Chain A
């Protein structure tokens, strides 16, 4: 760890903080200009009508409707600096607790679908690239075209329809069985509930990884070093594994880490379809319900994920491609 590395890290960190600040500001501004009236959506027109003006004022106070926006924003920022994300208005619990609970539901889902879409995408892309213009390529390519031009919520709906409603293989929603106490839920049941949403999520991500890997694979297969490997008598399997895989991995890693945001975005829609009580659904509910602290908390967390993803990709480049690693070493000294 030289001075330069520390300097670089510091700069990266500073950049991350600036980005986070901007994200906070923009999303807060969006909630301010949003036409949603938190009282009407959370309590309902009828209930509001039967309340006394004092009660309504109390509620308005609680939802922070009378405080000017800049003041609220600064107040919230002050909390953040102290590590306090505030209290969720709808759940009446600290935002951190709510997020933690929702995240633990979503985490399984996100990690699964992220890994599946990466592995399947690289594998399918390599096959398609190696068998370019032949049957496997045609099938995979068509599949990807169809998938990438289909909205993820629709894919989720179709999956739900086929596997839950018609075939009845999987439950139609939620993360745990209905009518069972949370403590009694078995892991197998949790997984069973996560399979369909995870499948829907990974399906939407797999197409782009496959197509990019395919493109790179074609380039690799046409390269001189593959010809040379063949001239040296290397078998196709060994060529694909030892020369193909690593060279193909770079675009896949870039894409997969950069698509963390898409994954979270996709989870919002997919969780909605499957009534899966995860982070995505919580974000939607917070947005619609005007639960500003929770919404901002979730936004902040996902931004951290995305920034972290990009950073991880950058570190992995060096591990995969020695050219990048050595260049850095040279510039460091």
Chain B
């Protein structure tokens, strides 16, 4: 059985390796506490995801759950006291330093959170072109500004002269400058009114339709449901569920009790927020067992043990109640084909 699975994965690597594949990523910080003792703060634990061409994958989690660090990890810009475990692959090649340095900014681009990610003393045009100044570079810059509905004069402006929405679009233009095949957006929508936020998400849809892979890290579940293909629910540093966006249209299709709480908390489903906002602080988390056990109705003794991350209803869930179904999904290679169904 295992042999077959490996075989299939190999085939997949050859034919169509996913643009981005994160395998068992764990992140922790070393820190000194008040008594100057070094301690380790685990921020992300065992995160796996894939992004393929033409799809939008959304990682949804509450603020402060450490999800931004996922993007930082992919781009190799983690702070010096961060420790990373696990592997990240780009089109089947492991992202070690030399390869990463070659492709970041060109084959994969980051859309950062906001205006503070622009140098306040440089004109936006310079920052979109990343300092390049050939004729075709300026032409490309103009093109991109036009694509995102910005005036040509925006290139001559300084970041402080941009509105929040303009800055977002400048960052989008900046990401597409080198025509990357993978775009990772870190919280692209806060600070925008709902319509503008939706417009930004639609830009990502367009990028995906051009054949790019998009990973959106966000706290806005509703927007993600509206625009993404797959959604990973991030809770207290762990991915607890991977679902199709369409699963969020009915509660039965969802897998994890927390996701179901999130579902009920959505305005369209009655705003019944009970536990949707809670998450245990890093240091107070249980070493073993389910992180949601303190709030879960179904809690039992098994929740204190190791919780596997396994397939369920065509997605993934980290819950002992997540029944493993064979149905017609067959072997593990289906993992990347969820969006098809």
Chain A residues 227-278 with CB under 8 Å of chain B are: 227-234, 238, 242-243, 246-247
| Complex partner residue of A228 from B102, B118, B131, B158, CB under 8 angstroms | B118
Binds B, one of A40-48, A169-177, A315-323: A315-323
Q: Is the C-beta of B209 less than 8 angstroms from some C-beta in chain A?
A: no
Contact with A along B126-166 (1 / 0, CB 8 A): 00001100000000000000000000000000101100000
In the assembly, what is the distance between CA of A227 and CA of B113, in Å?
A: 12
> B110's contact among A232, A242, A320, by CB below 8 Å, is which?
A232
Say whether A224 contacts B116, CB under 8 Å: yes
Docked CA distance A245–B104 (Å): 24
- The one of B105, B121, B158 in contact with A231, judged by C-beta atoms closer than 8 angstroms, is B105
The answer to whether A326 has its CB under 8 Å from any CB of chain B is yes
Contact A231 B75, CB 8 Å, known A247-B121, A323-B160, A326-B161? yes
Check A331 for interface membership: any CB of B closer than 8 A. Answer: no
User: Which of B72, B105, B112, B118 meets A233, CB within 8 Å?
Assistant: B105
Q: Does A225 contact B (CB under 8 A)?
A: yes
Check if A67 is an interface residue, CB within 8 A of chain B. no
Asked if A223 is at the interface of the complex by the 8 Å CB criterion, the answer is yes
Give the residues from 46 to 83 in chain B that come closer than 8 angstroms, CB to CB, to chain A: 72, 75-77
Q: What's the least CB distance linking A81 to chain B, in Å?
A: 44
Q: Select from chain B the residue with minimum beta-carbon distance to A228.
A: B117
Q: Which residues of A contact B76 (CB under 8 A)?
A: 230
Min C-beta distance of B285 to chain A, whole Å: 27
Q: Given A227-B77, A323-B158, verify A232-B118 contact (CB < 8 Å).
A: no
Q: What is the distance, in angstroms, from B299's C-beta to the closest C-beta of chain A?
A: 40
Count of residues in A whose CB is under 8 Å from the partner chain: 21
Contacts of A231 in B (CB 8 A): 75, 77, 104-105, 110, 112
Check B109 against A322 for contact (C-beta < 8 Å).
no
With A225-B116, A242-B131, A247-B121: A232-B104 Cβ-Cβ less than 8 Å: yes
Question: Within the complex, what minimum Cβ distance (angstroms) separates B75 from chain A?
Answer: 4
Interface digits, A139-159 against B, CB 8 Å rule (1 contact, 0 not)?
Answer: 000000000000000000000
Contacts of A247 in B (CB 8 A): 119-121
- A327, closest chain B residue (CB): B160
- Contacts A322-B158, A323-B160, A326-B161; is A225 near B117 (CB within 8 Å)? yes
Residues of A contacting B158 in the complex (Cβ-Cβ under 8 angstroms): 322-323, 326
Cβ-defined contact, A234 with B117, below 8 A: no
Q: How far is the CA of A238 from the CA of B105 in the complex (A)?
A: 14
Contact of B105 with A322 in the complex, beta carbons under 8 Å: no
Bound together, the chains give a CA A228 to CA B121 distance in angstroms of: 15
CA of A233 to CA of B161 in the docked complex: distance in angstroms? 26
Q: Is the CB–CB distance between A238 and B117 below 8 Å?
A: no
Please pick, from B105, B113, B174, the residue contacting A234 in the complex, using a CB distance under 8 A: B105
A309-333 vs B: 1/0 string, CB under 8 Å? 0000000000011110010000000
Nearest residue in B to A247 (C-beta to C-beta)? Answer: B121
Complex formed: what's the CA distance from A159 to B112 in Å? 52
Chain A residues in 8 Å Cβ range of B104: 231-233
B101 contacts the other chain (Cβ, under 8 Å)? yes
Which of chain B's residues have a CB closer than 8 A to the CB of A323? Answer: 120, 158, 160
Within residues 41 to 79 of chain A, which ones have a CB less than 8 A from any CB in chain B?
none
Q: Answer whether A234 and B130 are a contact pair too, CB < 8 Å, given A243-B122, A247-B120.
A: yes
C-alpha gap A238/B77 in the complex (Å) = 16
Question: Quick one: closest B residue to A244, CB to CB?
Answer: B119
- The A-contacting residues of B in range 155-194, CB under 8 angstroms, are 158, 160-161, 174
- Please measure, in the bound complex, the distance between the C-alpha atom of A323 and the C-alpha atom of B162, giving whole angstroms: 12
Q: How far is the CA of A263 from the CA of B135 in the complex (A)?
A: 47
Chain B residues 84 to 109 lying within 8 A of chain A, measured CB to CB, are 101-106, 109
- Assess whether A242 is in contact with B122, with CB atoms less than 8 Å apart: yes
> CA A320 – CA B119 in complex, angstroms?
13
Q: Which residues of A contact B117 (CB under 8 A)?
A: 224-225, 227-228
Q: How far is the CA of A228 from the CA of B158 in the complex (A)?
A: 17
Please give, as numbers and ranges, the residues of chain A lying within 8 Å of B116 by CB-CB distance. 223-225
> Please, how many angstroms separate the alpha-carbon atoms of A224 and B72 in the complex?
11
- Complex Cα distance, B77 from A232, in Å, reads 10
Q: Complex: how many Å from CA A305 to CA B117?
A: 40
B residues near A243, Cβ cutoff 8 Å: 119, 122
> What's the Cα separation between A321 and B161 when bound, in Å?
13
**Set of chain B residues within 8 Å of A223, measured between Cβ atoms:** 116
Of residues 284 through 313 on chain A, the ones whose CB sits less than 8 Å from some CB of chain B are: none
Decide: B121 and A233 in contact? CB cutoff 8 A.
Answer: no
> B105's contact among A224, A232, A246, A320, by CB below 8 Å, is which?
A232
CB contacts (< 8 Å) of B106 on chain A: these are: 233
Known contacts A231-B75, A232-B109: does B121 contact A320 (CB below 8 Å)?
yes
Q: A223-B116, A232-B104, A232-B110 are in contact. List 7 more A-B contacts (CB 8 A).
A: A225-B119, A225-B120, A230-B77, A231-B112, A233-B106, A243-B122, A247-B119
Instruction: Please list the 4 inter-chain residue pairs (A to B) with the smallest Cβ-Cβ separation, ordered nearest first.
Output: A233-B105, A232-B105, A231-B75, A224-B117
A-B contact pairs, 10 of them (CB 8 A): A224-B117, A231-B75, A231-B104, A233-B103, A233-B106, A234-B105, A242-B122, A323-B160, A326-B158, A326-B161
Please give the residue numbers on chain B whose beta carbons come within 8 Å of chain A beta carbons, in ascending order: 72, 75-77, 101-106, 109-110, 112-113, 116-122, 130-131, 158, 160-161, 174
